[in-house]
Amino acid sequence: MRFVYSCFLFISCLSVKAQNNSFYKEKYRPQFHFTPPIHWMNDPNGLVYHKGEYHLFYQFNPFGNRWGHMSWGHAVSKDLLHWQHLPLAIPEEKDTMIFSGSCVTDVANSAGFATDKNQQPMVAIYTAHIEGKNQSQHIAYSLDDGRTWIKYNANPVLDLGKRDFRDPKVFWYAPHRKWVMVVVYPNEKEIKFYTSKNLKQWNLMSSFGPAGDTNGIWECPDLFEVPVKDQPGKTKWVLMHSPAPYMQYFIGEFDGEKFVNDNSNTKIYRPDYGPDYYAAITFNGLEKNQNPISIGWINNWNYANDIPTSPWKSAMSIPRKLCVKKINNEWVLIQQPVEQVKTLRQNEMTWKNITVTKNHRLPLNSQTLELEVEFTAAGETSGVRLAKDNDHFIEIGYDAKKQLLYIDRSKAGTAEFNPSFAKLSRYETAVAATTAKTIKLRIFFDKSIVEVFANEGEAVMTAQLFPEEAAGGIELFSTGKPAVFNMVKFYSLQSAR
């Protein structure tokens, strides 16, 4: 208990300092992406909307800037942009770390944790990890809207005696009036579906996998219902998870017991085709008929511990609003930044019909920006360079002949902190031009993060970079034939701190 109390006091002090802006002025520190005040952070956990607040829990090391001592950090927000840091929610205890999981509002008090009829307990479902020995599913509950947490005295609620069995995502399946848990066998590349009436006793229903990307271990599953774009009333189900160090999804149907994939089981579909997006999950408890909203971890396990940031490490993505669309007879996940991001916009500038033969420097210098670009897919490659300073920049381009969107950060700044970072510098994905032969990009640059949404969110790419603070130039480029940039719109974005 002394360990728990010390953690609580420590993180309480940090949260007070964070609110007073003692942090968030460091080199590379994102200004509109969520980061902890200090120390290591990885997977988002327990995303839930409860009584007007968005709750973000996350894997957190209270004692250092590298992975270890996994516990649940905690923050809340009214708008998904401005976050209030709260004390440590669920701490490591003795030999048991607190790994990833989810959180629900137990409206009907199915678990029996409420002490009076007006309470709506929040229940966290997470993996208890004993290094090298066992992973099992535990629960904890809160009767004060997530401010303090009590571990269930009869844990574990699901223990198969396995060394690797983790990351439960739990949600309420209304048609059958039951809880559903989605959890993984990482090494077997299988996702298991369990059911419960009370969050305490769980029964296996079905499994899915292996399928798609089976190169890495499988982690952090999620299953959620999504609207079909431009088809009111129609929905599909998305099964999303993280084959390390990337992510993939499947789109199909879920009948309350099993998931059936409607796309190919061999083709890989990713929610993000860049190097730095992992462990994304969606919020529970959103209002009815609201699109699902997801948040992912911006980092890559190949170099995550070594990125050159201090006193914090890692960030969360811009929250993304989700739907699906059928393109060329394949179901595709469509992702867009939540609308609230627009409230940060200022200093709008617009250019139209710029013909670019080699390069064209815009009269701007910024590392916290949003850029909307629409250009004709002509020539060999064309696009945008950000963090431009002499020969340094990150290139976001489109190869018109191959119909490939790419990110290349090989010239973007420091990379010597880990050899894998330099090796993993260029990423690409197929993106077809519109019927008007144009490419539309919506780009967010935030100090050390770039997120690119192509053609209204049909493909997304996220990458970290570590430029010098003065490297804020913006350049349009084209190789081969001239490219016409029909529209370029710039916004500087206010800090959300």
pLDDT of residue 21: 56
pLDDT of residue 1: 40
Pull the structure tokens for residue 132. 């090298």
Confidence (pTM)? 0.95
Q: Are 115 and 34 spatial neighbours (Cβ–Cβ below 8 Å)?
A: no
- The one catalytic residue in 43, 276, 408, 446 is 43
pLDDT of residue 251: 98
Per-residue pLDDT of the chain (497 residues; tens, 9 = 90+): 434 444 444 454 455 454 445 689 999 999 999 999 999 999 999 999 999 999 999 999 999 999 999 999 999 999 999 999 999 999 999 999 999 999 999 999 999 999 998 899 999 999 999 999 999 999 999 999 999 999 999 999 999 999 999 999 999 999 999 999 999 999 999 999 999 999 999 999 999 999 999 999 999 999 999 999 999 999 999 999 999 999 999 999 999 999 999 999 999 999 999 999 999 999 999 998 899 999 999 999 999 999 999 999 999 999 999 999 999 999 999 999 999 999 999 999 999 999 999 999 999 999 999 999 999 977 689 999 999 999 999 999 999 999 999 999 999 999 999 999 999 999 999 999 887 789 999 999 999 999 999 999 999 999 999 999 999 999 999 998 899 999 999 999 999 98
Say whether 43 is catalytic: yes
